[in-house]
Structure 1
């Protein structure tokens, strides 16, 4: 959402007697089977399938497209969550088409070439892979809370913690980052609300940049305050470097076993079709 659209929404809400801010979050709250799935399964499945996307052929891409569409329906996620990908994919498609589809002639000619059908097909296939990986990542973030994302990722860093304690520290840092990003965004929108209550947003770009810079300082102060509170809590709990262990209090269910089975069949099918 652009700054102008946010401003129009806030102004219209203020005229109607109500001033509300809807915090944009990647997570879509629901009680679907994908939401209830163990976060470790979703993290591992996303990593493995994204890797297989780079090796499979068009048959595997077709299979993944239908499976991804089924998962979107199963997760009860609206299609508007994926609109933010459209412009990015359009520009990437133009770039891939220009770089892979255009064939330059050999020799000393400064500018001469033509569009190659094989190059365009190669660019379309590459864009297809990117779309599927982006779609799976967007679906993963829509059905997994930020805290669960951090715990699921940190779980796979446990074996590395036996080699170096820095792996445990990195897992803790990643977990806290994913947990506090929504809070920082919410505080930023609160500051934005306070600024709009003072008056209209300036029309010139120079004044807009100046107003935006003025919002950065209080946001940094709030972030530092959050960090200090977090450091005090870690100290009170007796945390030391290399001792972080992700705790996932979630019993395995039939849905988890079914999810693992689906991922195994999906991955093996991509290997066979590749």
Structure 2
């Protein structure tokens, strides 16, 4: 399951989506996320699926790779759907037993929440899969630059977000190594109920935290050795500038957002 998490990973291929300006992709992703919360009909979700499918095809990221990331949120997805099915009041009652009640309105809301969560994860993963950590840092910093006048540390925020995203696959790989080492010593992480599996994960936390702190210290020492000064006087190999494809993407994103509001 740890290998199924795609958020924070970068898929290096040459595609029009990869070549887009990172600022454009960040703004379009925000518009996409906000647009999802305006949709109240399944026709609108179908419209989003078509747009998202076309974008994934343009990005040249395998659809199986995108769908693989949904396995990591399967428990959250099922838990959210169950809450909405059994505890939503209103509408025609379809089934009832004790304090559990399934209504027609509950089924509709549960299906909408499931669609919204799935599309949210896939769309967010597409941003990190098509944007390298360096580009993502530069894009976030550039977008936050106007807020420096009111004291917002744009570079520091962008650096922290980039490092956090970059550490996700590193920590997952480290967790996988620790689990394999524990399994070689007889540990069992697969059998038993959820509580037993959760207790079996406790011995992994200590070495994982130690490894994370060690990597953080090594990163800090490497930044100091390279005379890192919080972005002061920092130069870039590739300067950010919008291309024609970015303006076309902005137009399409605007139409998408309007379509989400209407549908």
Say yes or no: TM over 0.5: yes
Contact 2:5 2:68 in 1 (8 A): no
Residue of structure 2 equivalent to 1:100? 88
Q: What displacement does 1:191 show?
A: 4.4
Offset at residue 50 of structure 1 (A): 1.0
- Give 1:146 deviation, angstroms: 3.9
**How far apart are residue 47 of structure 1 and its match?**
1.0
**CA 1:122–1:151: 2 relative to 1, 3 Å:** same
Q: Conserved in 1, the CA contact under 8 Å of 2:86 and 2:106?
A: no
Aligned match of 1:183: 170
Partner Cα separation in structure 2 for residue 214 and residue 36 of structure 1:
43
Asked whether the equivalents of residues 90 and 103 of structure 2 are also in contact (C-alpha less than 8 Å), the reply is yes
Give 3-state SS (helix, strand or coil) of 1:157's partner: helix
- Structure 2 unaligned runs (5+)? none
Between the aligned partners of 1:54 and 1:207, the Cα distance in structure 2 is: 37
Choose the corresponding residue for 1:255, options 242, 245, 248. Answer: 245
Shift of 1:45: 0.9
The aligned counterpart of 2:136 is 149
Name the CA shift for 1:230/1:260 in 2 (closer, same or farther; >3 Å).
Answer: same
Q: CA RMSD in A?
A: 4.1
Instruction: Indicate how the Cα distance of structure 1 residues 176 and 80 shifts in structure 2: closer, same or farther if over 3 A, else same.
Output: closer
Distance 2:33 2:110 in 1: 18
Contact 1:46 1:137 in 2 (8 A): yes
Q: Is the 8 A contact 1:33 1:75 kept in 2?
A: yes
Contact residue 89 and residue 103 of structure 2 kept, 8 A? yes
Residue aligned with 2:88, SS: helix
Question: Which protein is bigger by CA-based radius of gyration?
Answer: 1
Number of residue pairs matched by the alignment:
249
Question: Structure 1 residues 118 and 214 mapped into 2: Cα distance closer, same or farther (>3 Å)?
Answer: closer
- Aligned pair 1:71/2:55, yes or no? yes
Contact 2:16 2:59 in 1 (8 A): yes
Q: Is residue 258 of structure 2 the alignment partner of residue 268 of structure 1?
A: yes
Q: 2:117 aligns with which of 120, 130, 133?
A: 130
Shift of 1:147: 4.0
Using a 3 Å threshold, how does the CA distance of structure 1 residues 79 and 129 change in structure 2: closer, same or farther? same
**2:33 aligned partner:** 50
Q: Do the aligned partners of 1:97 and 1:120 also contact (CA within 8 Å) in 2?
A: yes
Shift of 1:67: 0.7
Question: Equivalent residue for 2:78?
Answer: 90
Partners in 2 of 1:73 and 1:31 — Cα distance? 12
Relative to the length of structure 2, the TM-score reads 0.71
Q: Which runs of 5+ in 1 are unaligned?
A: 3-21, 106-110
Residue 219 and residue 116 in structure 1: after superposition, are their counterparts in 2 closer, same or farther (change >3 A)?
closer
| Counterpart for residue 81 of structure 1 | 66
Q: CA deviation at 1:189?
A: 3.7
